[in-house]
Structure 1
Amino acid sequence: MVKEIKKSDYPKPMSFIALVFWTGLFGGIFWGTIGYISYFFNFTDVAPNAILEPWALGDWKKGWLGTVISIILMGVLSVIVAYVYYFTLRKVKGIWFGWGYGIVLFLLVFFVLNPLIPSIKPLFDLSRDTIITSVCLYSLYGIFIGYSINYEYELSKVQEKEATT
């Protein structure tokens, strides 16, 4: 005997706002980890631990605990960044807006927030490898956030259209 599967038997899909949250959290943790790997292999002089400098005291922030907490903090901050993208740019199609968003974040961190983080030298005093690696990481991060949110937005529009027809 075969049981008939009804639409009500399927779990409800996650809300779009929840998807933005998880995209931001995963993106921050993933790209923060890639940033740490880049630092570990000397592609960049900027460690993820730099994010803790203005707020945390002690040498623990330079060790493994500081690295783990920094990457988790990047995930939390990335949720905010993802919501900003959601509220401002979710309707724009294409990969270039995500790339541009990543470049804007790079400029924000290395020009505007730079005075708050003493271990990050001014942009033009950094090595060429650090600048190139950082621009690439921020670009890929922006593409990840932008394209993921835009894809889900377009998918939700298609699903709404199918539901009404």
Structure 2
Amino acid sequence: MNKHAKVWSTRDTRSNDGGNNGSNSRSHGSSDKEGHTNPLTFCLSLGFFAGLIWGTFRGVAYWLKFTKLTPGLLADPFFQLSFLKTGWGYAVGIGVFIVFSMISALLYFALFGRIRGPHMGVVYGFLWWVVIFGFVGPALGMMDKLTMIGWNTLLTELCIFLLWGIFIGYTIAFEFTDEASREPFAFKMPKPS
């Protein structure tokens, strides 16, 4: 019996022992099987933290004047710009970026979930940057065209989206491929008792 309470986990620990409660299967010599990661909950939690971390980072970049675009850039079609420049506007912007990241993590898993390494994550972040800053943003009036924004804003936003893409892509690759075997010092987690 596990003496530690499990509050929340992305691992599916249900066994395929035909409905036994687990005590009989252990007594007959079968070994415990590792649970598999549930892709839906894993991608949603990954997207939540990707949006929280990199959305906050976008807010700090705006506050330090590295970018002219508010942290609530993706919420711009739904809220007034004067609201998005307030503290609550920052929070709404980060919240919208979290939802966007959760959807993007699910999409990444569906399209590129079996690709190893961080390279596809870089491409994924770049593709989202191109879509948002090259097409959707100017078309919806969220920002000026790429040629009018300015180099500081362009490079800051590009770097944030590249890092965001690496965060999502490499985390999914590490969890759902044998990416851990490529680590220089393979560390094996002990099985819980």
2:98 pairs with one of 66, 70, 75? 75
TM value normalised by structure 1: 0.82
Which structure has more helix as a fraction of its residues? 1
Segments of 4+ moved more than 4 angstroms: 6-13
List gaps (5 residues or longer) in structure 1. 1-5, 159-165
Farther off after superposition, 85-94 or 61-70: 61-70
Query: Equivalent pairs: percent with the same residue?
Result: 25
1:16 pairs with one of 39, 46, 57? 39
Cα pair distance change 1:10/1:52, threshold 3 Å: closer
Cross-structure match for 2:129: 106
What amino acid is aligned across from residue 141 of structure 1 in structure 2?
W
Cross-structure match for 1:161: none
List gaps (5 residues or longer) in structure 2. 11-37, 182-193
TM value normalised by structure 2: 0.71
Cα pair distance change 1:48/1:13, threshold 3 Å: closer
Cα pair distance change 1:56/1:152, threshold 3 Å: same
Pick 1 or 2: higher relative contact order, CA cutoff 8 A, min separation 6: 1
2:114 pairs with one of 59, 73, 91? 91
Give the number of equivalent residue pairs.
153
For 2:76 and 2:45, how far apart are their aligned partners in 1?
26
What is the aligned-residue RMSD (CA, Å)?
2.5
For 1:38 and 1:57, how far apart are their aligned partners in 2?
21
What amino acid is aligned across from residue 42 of structure 2 in structure 1?
L
Cα pair distance change 1:119/1:112, threshold 3 Å: closer
Task: Give the structure with higher Rg (CA).
Answer: 2
| Cα pair 1:54 1:116 within 8 Å, conserved | no
> 1:60 deviation in Å?
2.7
| Cα pair 1:51 1:117 within 8 Å, conserved | no
